[in-house]
Structures are given as structure tokens and as C-alpha cells.
Amino acid sequence: MLHSRIFTFNPLGTNCVVLWADGQKACTVADPGMSSQDGLQELVAFFRKQGLTPDAILLTHGHFDHVWGVENLLDIYPVPVYMHPADKGILSDGASVFKGMQSFKVFRHNIATTDIADGDVLTTGGAAWKVIHTPGHTPGGVCYYSADDKLLLSGDTLFAGSIGRTDLGGGDTTCSCAPFRKNCSPCPGIPM
Ligand SMILES: [Zn+2]
């Protein structure tokens, strides 16, 4: 059984999800978007209270609100950061994507990421995560799916009853995965 805790960070209210399997001390951190030291401390205090130590950071995509706290977290927990390589440009120069949000000023990240591809299976936090490449919101957007627990980390690809916007830089409404994202369930047991 997989346990999870969702944190909401930064002015955009981005979800960060911590996941760990029964009896495991290692946990997975998906999209650590903390924009403040308070957010970082909240997350670290949770790990310590639960006796957890992150063993990986999973990024669903490279948008700044999902990666805001990665460097600060790596200072404490130097773990691999997994991301699809098609989002490396967004990660290093998000200003070209978020032209109307310059006040946030956190658009340039120099993070060493480990490339992932559609179909890869990562084992982190005691769980196996299948990578599903879902471009459209960003070129390198992915979902992570735990078949054992029927749990999907969808980032901004899917929301309850809707899909993520595709009009930002690098987005693609007509990409081949759009029908898949709108109409299909790639994950048995998960209604979409
Ligand atoms: Zn996004």
C-alpha cells in the first residue's frame, strides 16, 4: 500500500506529492514547488516526523511552479531528479514561456536531471512508477503511474474533469497525444 501526502506550495497553489510504501523509510517527492523557506521547512519537518528520507524527485514537467524548490531540497537531500529531456529548455529558461509572469523571477534552473522516456519504469520510495509521456501542456510532460496502487501523478496534464492548458510556450493543442489525454484512460482502474 502506498501512502501519500499532498502539500500546496507557492502563490500558484501547485501540488507537491510525497509518496511512500508501507514499511519504507524512503519516499518519493513529486513536483517540489516550494517558493519559500517556510515551505521547505514544512516539508522537511514532515519527513522527520514520519521518519522518511527522499530517494528521488519526480518532475511531471519543467514549469517553474513545479520545480521552484528543487535546488533547496537537493541541498538537504542530494537525490536524482527525473524529468523528460524535452522540457530542459523550459527548465533553464522559463521566461520564454511565462511572458506574463515576470514578477516571479524564478525562471532559470540549472539542475542536473536524469532523462526519462515513455515506458520507463522507475522504482522510488518503494514503489514502481511507469513513465507515460503526455506532451501537450509542455513537450516533455509526463505522468507517473503506479499499477500496483492505481495511482497516477498527472501534474498539469490532467485535472479533475479537465486537461492542462496547452497555450503556453512549448504547448501543443494538436499534438498526437491530445486525443489520448482527452478521451482515453491509459491506466486501468483510474477513471478520467
Ligand atoms: Zn505546468
Q: Tell me if 51 is assigned to some domain.
A: yes
pLDDT at 105: 57
Distance 22 CA to ligand 1 centre (A): 30
CATH of residue 159's domain is 3.60.15.10
Distance 121 CA to ligand 1 centre (A): 23
Distance 63 CA to ligand 1 centre (A): 5
DSSP helix/strand/coil, 51: coil
Q: Tell me if 189 is assigned to some domain.
A: no
pLDDT at 163: 64
Nearest-angstrom CA–CA distance, 27 and 189: 24
pLDDT at 157: 78
Q: Tell me if 192 is assigned to some domain.
A: no
The whole domain housing 155 covers 2-183
Q: Mean pLDDT for each consecutive 10-residue tract of the chain (192 residues)?
A: 95 94 96 95 98 98 93 97 95 70 64 95 96 91 93 80 66 58 52 44
Q: What total number of domains does the chain contain? A: 1
Distance 188 CA to ligand 1 centre (A): 25
Q: Tell me if 55 is assigned to some domain.
A: yes
pLDDT at 97: 67
Asked if residues 68 and 40 have their Cβ atoms less than 8 Å apart, the reply is no
Q: Tell me if 188 is assigned to some domain.
A: no
Q: Tell me if 59 is assigned to some domain.
A: yes
